[in-house]
Structure 1
């Protein structure tokens, strides 16, 4: 390694998803079930709001905390949900920016951060970037958030519990009772509770529930990337205890500075645009794929997001199965990118009906081949 490179960069590798895309680059007309973003476009009203912002000269830095109308709109929603809590909000450079700032604001070297395995690919890397120690709690085979396992993982070095519901890569939604129990565990041990709620609007059964309802010190990260297909616009938001938010803002001043101002005006318009029709469409896509694949694969039906996380057939493991699938023209992601285990793979059903049909047919064929 080059002598100038900092030691902290040696604690994690580049995302393994890159290797999948390197393999995929050789394919013609692949069946792409790998993309972790919506397949619908940003609504026109949101585009127009950002275009108007650009044309009217709103192209400079915004305040670090975000433009006032967007903050006010989000804060009004937050206060309606949590009327008895003192919470502040700021606009982050995407939810990934919010995660980075959360780790840098709260995690000291040697602090432990607890989260479920499988996990969003950034979690271990960001914990290590802050000098922390990832503590991964096994959630196989059903990917449930088990409060007893969380409680058992707590040590004197525990600083944070990180929950993600609906989850990437599994799509599983945590039960309200389990989230409530974890919220109480965090409060009991005086441990930070960070709730990654970027898929909160992709919730297919019942009502979305946040642990912030039971723990007023919960730090919540959300945004517009997934719900409104604004992944490239980099507009997220974080709300939580004012002192924690102020610390995150201090770091944002000297790092991201602010989210892109024209995109923030688009996000303001997004707060008024219902995406329920798209959510209903994704529920239908989920039902189709689960119905097609469940006779052939061991899988848990996702309650949210737009992912399935089936177990690979046969004994070769998830990575080998994915390499074979890619050789047949099907793009999926190996589960060991999101886990210490190499047994599963991730499918995204954020794709056209035709692509899902072709993908399901291919996966059924691959399962049948493995059974021979």
Structure 2
């Protein structure tokens, strides 16, 4: 049979390719798996108890409304209104089966084949994959100083076919958290050029501040050009439940709902109930987990200060650290393979997040047990000899 040529032209998920390297592991030391980012713990007891209770009812196995459970949409809108000082109501929330689905449905709502979407580098690889699978051209925005994307540089990339600018903050893969002023400048550009500013805020609960991530949702007209994407997977430790959300104007969500109805009808009810329980019953648990990760990140950052083995920490935040290796001229894929084979350490090659090889790698700091930090540094020092 004939297959879609766009699918054939897109490489497999970099996560899949990286995990396949495990077959080549020879070092018998404990594996330090810093590749795929996932919570190293299960959900709060309150979440488990609620999902179990719902599962015992008839309603627990039925469809939900296409936009999601009303009580979840209400609870999440209330949290966003509180945390952002924003004008957000349940009518602005559509629940999806994870944030990846949120991005895919939104892009299919905003753009058609041949249109363009601006992605700052390094990008989150599934964003780039989906755009190319959908026939939408990703336009790459090179990073500025400190890896911060420049609105002025983005201005020069906008064409009549541009439909959106995407920002991921805190970033995947860099961990970089954009300040509200930078986000505001991008929002102003989006309004000026009548394109969408899409903010992927999957890791918003793992920032180093309790202040609002940005002030865009506080604008009465925010829905005209701003869309915010969210995930409950990391925040509530429920990645397998597959639940995320699109926060947008009602007119946008009305079109997204048409796609949602065809793709999945609705996000899985157990995931939606888990998200509601986490939002309303596990606030203290969420804060504790965020504080634990902050401590892990701080320990890793401090340990990398002297560039063990010549490995330089370029940025860190949320779940991630972005590290440059010392082997100029060597393919990063080979460096990653050597770290696994010789040091029993698995990380993601940076060329999974940008065209070309820039000599960088992604470390998932969420996977770092505090007791492993010294061992990570020791193995990097050994690798750099």
> What is the TM-score normalised by the length of structure 1?
0.93
- Verify the 8 A CA contact 2:80 2:88 in the aligned structure 1: no
Which residue of 2 is the match for residue 271 of structure 1? 279
Answer with 19-28 or 255-264: which moved more: 19-28
Answer with 322-331 or 4-13: which moved more: 4-13
In 1, Cα distance between the equivalents of 2:80 and 2:319? 25
Which residue of 1 is the match for residue 323 of structure 2? 310
In 2, Cα distance between the equivalents of 1:213 and 1:151? 24
Which residue of 1 is the match for residue 205 of structure 2? 201
Which residue of 2 is the match for residue 340 of structure 1? 355
- Verify the 8 A CA contact 2:88 2:217 in the aligned structure 1: no
Which residue of 2 is the match for residue 8 of structure 1? 6
Which residue of 2 is the match for residue 48 of structure 1? 49
Aligned-pair CA distance for 1:301:
3.5
Which residue of 2 is the match for residue 127 of structure 1? 131
In structure 2, relative to structure 1, the CA distance for the partners of 1:293 and 1:285 (3 Å cut) is: same
In structure 2, relative to structure 1, the CA distance for the partners of 1:263 and 1:200 (3 Å cut) is: same
What is the aligned counterpart of 1:165 among 165, 169, 176? 169
What is the aligned counterpart of 1:186 among 172, 190, 209? 190
Which residue of 2 is the match for residue 63 of structure 1? 65
Aligned-pair CA distance for 1:330:
0.7
2:303 is equivalent to residue 295 of structure 1: no
In 1, Cα distance between the equivalents of 2:120 and 2:15? 20
SS at match of 1:123: helix
In structure 2, relative to structure 1, the CA distance for the partners of 1:322 and 1:213 (3 Å cut) is: farther
What is the CA deviation profile of residues 282-323 of structure 1, one whole-angstrom value per residue up to 9, with x for unaligned ones?
111111111111311332342x32110111112114222111
Flag structure 1 segments of 5+ consecutive residues without an equivalent.
Answer: none
In 1, Cα distance between the equivalents of 2:37 and 2:18? 13
SS at match of 2:93: strand
- Verify the 8 A CA contact 2:86 2:217 in the aligned structure 1: no
Answer with 233-242 or 355-364: which moved more: 355-364
Which residue of 1 is the match for residue 295 of structure 2? 284
SS at match of 1:91: strand
In 1, Cα distance between the equivalents of 2:86 and 2:24? 54
What is the aligned counterpart of 2:339 among 312, 322, 325? 325
Answer with 146-155 or 352-361: which moved more: 352-361
Aligned-pair CA distance for 1:228:
1.1
Which residue of 2 is the match for residue 75 of structure 1? 77
2:98 is equivalent to residue 94 of structure 1: yes
- Verify the 8 A CA contact 1:107 1:130 in the aligned structure 2: no
What is the CA deviation profile of residues 99-141 of structure 1, one whole-angstrom value per residue up to 9, with x for unaligned ones?
1101111111111100111011111111122221001111166
Q: CA RMSD in A?
A: 1.8
- Verify the 8 A CA contact 2:313 2:322 in the aligned structure 1: yes
Aligned-pair CA distance for 1:151:
1.4
Aligned-pair CA distance for 1:173:
0.6
Answer with 355-364 or 219-228: which moved more: 355-364
In structure 2, relative to structure 1, the CA distance for the partners of 1:203 and 1:123 (3 Å cut) is: same
2:360 is equivalent to residue 359 of structure 1: no
> What is the TM-score normalised by the length of structure 2?
0.90
- Verify the 8 A CA contact 2:303 2:374 in the aligned structure 1: no
More helix by share: 2
Which residue of 1 is the match for residue 223 of structure 2? 216
- Verify the 8 A CA contact 1:24 1:30 in the aligned structure 2: no
Answer with 174-183 or 213-222: which moved more: 213-222
